[in-house]
Structure 1
C-alpha cells in the first residue's frame, strides 16, 4: 500500500501547476491561451519573459522536492516509495485533474525526481541531455533520451522494479511530446542554439 500512498502524495503535489499560479497572481493572464498553450516553464518563459519562466520553474521544482521529502521521511528513504512518488508528481503535473488532465510536459519535475533518487547518476544524465541540446539544437529528444538512459541505469543498478517506474515516466514524457516528435520528423521543429545565445549574451560576434 505504501507505493499507492506515495503515488497519490506525488499526484496531489503534481497538480499544482505553477505556470497557472504565476499566470493568475502575477501576470493576470492564462498561459494556456498564449504561445504553445502549454502550462509549463518553457512556454511561460518564452511568452512572458525569463523572470516569470524562472519563477514557474522554481515553483515546479519545489513542489516536487517537497513531495519527495515527505515520502522520504514517511517511508525512511525506501527506493520504491521515492520512485512512485516521483511518478505521481509527473502524472499530476502532466495530467492535473482540476485542469481537464491537460498539464505540462514534466521535464522540470523529472529533473528533481532523478536527482533525488540518485544524485550523481542524475547529474550525468542531465549533462548528457545538455550535450544533446547543444549538438541537436532541439528540446524534444534530449529530455526523452536522458530519462530513458536513467531508467535503464536504475534497472541495472538498483532494481528493475524501480527502473520500470522511471520508464513509465519516460513513456508519459514521450506522450506529452508526441506533437513535437512529429514536427521534428517533418523538419518543422523549433531550433534552439544555446551556444549562439550564450555568445550573444557575452557580447561576442556570431559568425
Structure 2
C-alpha cells in the first residue's frame, strides 16, 4: 500500500474499528432483556461476568458473544481486504479493544476487555486464541475465579504469538492490550492477593 493510501485508509479503518468496539454488548443486552444497567449493579462492570451475576447464563452468553464478535469482525474484514498490512491489522485490533474500554456511545465507561481481546486474538491468530482460551479454562477450572483466569491467559498470550511467528506489530498491539487489561483488573488483583476475590456463581 502506498504511503498516501496509508494516510487515508489507516485512520478511517481505525476509527471504524473503534466505533464498532464502542458498542457495549452488556449494556445493550441488559436493556433489551429488562435487566438492571450493569454499570450500576453488581461489580458495576459492563461485562459478561457481571451480567451473569445479575441476569444469569443466557444474558451472559449473549453479552460474551457480542463482545467477542466486535473484536473479531473488524480484524477479519481488514485481514481479508489488506492481508499484507500487518500494522493496519494490529491497529484495527487495538482500536476495537479501546472502543470496548472507552466507548464513545456510553460516556467512555466500558468493560474490562477480556472477551473483546479474545475476539481480536481469534481474528489475529486462531491457534493463539485457542491456546489462550485453553489457559483460561485450566486456570478457571482450578480457581473458579474469572479475573485470575483472564489475567493469566492475557499475560501468556504474547508468548503464544511469538511461538506462532506473529508480526512485531501484532505482538506489540497485544502487549498493549495486556497492560490495559492488567490496569483494568487492578482491584481484582488486590483482592486476589488478599484471598478476597469472589468465585463465579450465577443465578439459575
- Aligned counterpart, 1:175: 183
- Aligned counterpart, 2:30: 23
The higher-RCO structure (CA 8 Å, 6+ apart) is: 2
Distance 2:134 2:10 in 1: 30
Secondary structure of the residue that 2:39 maps to in structure 1?
helix
**1:80 aligned onto 2:87:** yes
What does residue range 17-166 of structure 1 map to in structure 2 within 5 Å?
Answer: 17-27=24-34, 29-76=36-83, 78-155=85-162, 157-166=165-174
Stretch moving more, 74-83 or 58-67: 74-83
Following superposition, the deviation at residue 66 of structure 1 comes to: 2.4
- 1:44-84 Cα offsets, whole Å, 9 max, x none, are 11111111111212222222232223322332363332222
What do you get for the CA RMSD once the two structures are aligned? 2.3
8 Å CA contact retained: 2:31, 2:37: yes
Shift in alpha-carbon separation, 1:69–1:118, aligned structure 2, 3 A: closer
How high is the TM-score relative to the length of structure 1?
0.83
| Equivalent pairs, count | 195
Stretch moving more, 36-45 or 141-150: 141-150
Stretch moving more, 39-48 or 145-154: 145-154
- 1:1-32 Cα offsets, whole Å, 9 max, x none, are 45544432221111000111112222163221
Shift in alpha-carbon separation, 1:150–1:32, aligned structure 2, 3 A: same
Stretch moving more, 174-183 or 54-63: 54-63
Shift in alpha-carbon separation, 1:158–1:107, aligned structure 2, 3 A: same
Secondary structure of the residue that 1:27 maps to in structure 2?
coil
Shift in alpha-carbon separation, 1:73–1:121, aligned structure 2, 3 A: closer
Give the unaligned 5+ runs of structure 1.
Answer: 202-207
8 Å CA contact retained: 1:153, 1:163: no
Shift in alpha-carbon separation, 1:159–1:67, aligned structure 2, 3 A: closer
